[in-house]
Structure 1
C-alpha cells in the first residue's frame, strides 16, 4: 500500500510522522472540508494508537479549531459551555474519542441533544496492507534499517489493532537499537517470540 499524500499545509508543519492511508483518509478529508459539516462540531472517532490525536492537532493548527481529546471523559458541564462558546463565536469544535457520543452515557440532556447534531468522522481498523505500511513507517521514523519483506511478514502475524501494531514497532525499534544491524525476517521472528524479554528491556 502506498502512502497517500499529506495536505501541503500539514506537511509544512512537520506532518511526516502521520501516515494517511485507506482507514483514515475519508475522516481527514471530511475534517478539511468545512463546508460539508452539518454543524460547528465534528466528533473524530478512532481506536487508541490510530493517530486520532495527531490528526486533531494538525487540523486544529490548520483551521484554528478548538479540540477536546478524550471528549467522552470530559466534564459534561464544561463541554456543554464550550460547545455554546465555540458556536457563538462562529468557531470550529473537534471532539476526539474512541466511541461516538451515543456510547458516552451522557447524563446532561442538553449536551446529549447538542452532540446528536455533530457529524462523526471515523478512523477505521487497519487491514493487512495498512498494518504493513504502518510498521514500515514506524521503523523508518525511528531510523531502523529493515529488509523489504519484514513489514509484510509482521503484518500477517499481528492482530488488526493499532495498539498491537504500535507495540510491534516499538519492540522492533528496541531490537534494532540493541543490535545495531538491519532487521531481517529472523530478527522479526525473534521480536514476536521474545515479546516478554523486549517488553522488560523497555521497562514495561
Structure 2
C-alpha cells in the first residue's frame, strides 16, 4: 500500500462547558468552580494528572467569569496591575519553581487580585505542598489556599475522554475501538492523549480507518518502543 503523507494539522480541542464530562472523580471540582464567588480567601488550587481536564475546566471558568487565563511562565513583561483588575487563572504553577523573578511576579499578582476583590484560580499536576516554590511568602499562601484534586478516570470518564480526543481530531472510530482501548491501554489521561495521537498519525500515514485492528497495532508499537 502506498504511504500517505502525514501533515501536522492543528488539533482544535473543544473547551466549552457542554464538552466536559462530569463524573464522580471530578464532580466536586466542577461544583467548586461553579461556586467561585464563595472560594475561601478568594482563590482555588486545582490539581490533577496531565490530561485530567484542568485546562478545560480553567477555560470554562474563565469564559464564565470573563477571567484572564495564562501560563505561569508568561508572567514576565505583563502589566500585573492591569491583570489584577479581573479574575485570573494561572496554569502550571510549579514550572516557575526556582525562578525568583517569576515567583515574585506571581506573589505580586496574587496580592493585587485579592485586594481588588477578584478571584484567582491556580492549576498544576500536583498539590501546592510539593510545588517547590522558593519564595516563602508565596509558598505559604499557595499551601493555604483551598484546593481540590481531579481523580484518576473511571470507565465512564475515560470513555468520554477518548471520545472527545478523537472528536477533537475529527476522527470517528468504529464502535469496538474505544472498548478495546479501555481494556488494553494504560489507564491514565496522559496515555489516552498519546494513544489517540498515535492512532491519528498512523491512520493518516497508512490511509486507514480508525478501528480495533489499527488500535491494537498502535498499542503494540507503543509498548515496544
TM-score (norm 2): 0.73
1:58 paired residue number: 60
Displacement of 1:132: 2.4
Q: Does 1:71 align with 2:71?
A: no
Equivalent positions of 1:95-134 (< 5 A) are 95-134=122-161
Residue deviations 1:27-73 (CA, integer Å, cap 9, x gap): 12211212431111111101112231232122123212211111123
Worse-superposed segment, 100-109 or 158-167: 100-109
Q: Does 1:41 align with 2:43?
A: yes
Residue deviations 1:142-182 (CA, integer Å, cap 9, x gap): 22222111101101111121111101111122233344443
In structure 2, relative to structure 1, the CA distance for the partners of 1:69 and 1:55 (3 Å cut) is same
CA contact (8 A) 1:139 1:172 kept: no
CA contact (8 A) 1:139 1:169 kept: yes
Higher relative contact order (Cα pairs below 8 Å, separated by 6+ residues): 2
In structure 2, relative to structure 1, the CA distance for the partners of 1:113 and 1:184 (3 Å cut) is closer
State how far apart, in whole Å, the 2-side matches of 1:25 and 1:177 are: 36
Q: Does 1:87 align with 2:114?
A: yes
Residue deviations 1:71-108 (CA, integer Å, cap 9, x gap): 12333211211111001111111111111111123332
CA contact (8 A) 1:46 1:99 kept: yes
Q: Does 1:176 align with 2:198?
A: no
CA contact (8 A) 1:144 1:176 kept: no
Equivalent positions of 1:161-200 (< 5 A) are 161-195=188-222
TM-score (norm 1): 0.80
The count of residues paired between Structure 1 and Structure 2 equals 186
Structure 1: gaps (5+ residues): 1-12, 200-204
Q: How well do the aligned residues superpose, as a CA RMSD in angstroms?
A: 2.5
Structure 2: gaps (5+ residues): 1-13, 68-86, 97-101
State how far apart, in whole Å, the 1-side matches of 2:15 and 2:51 are: 19
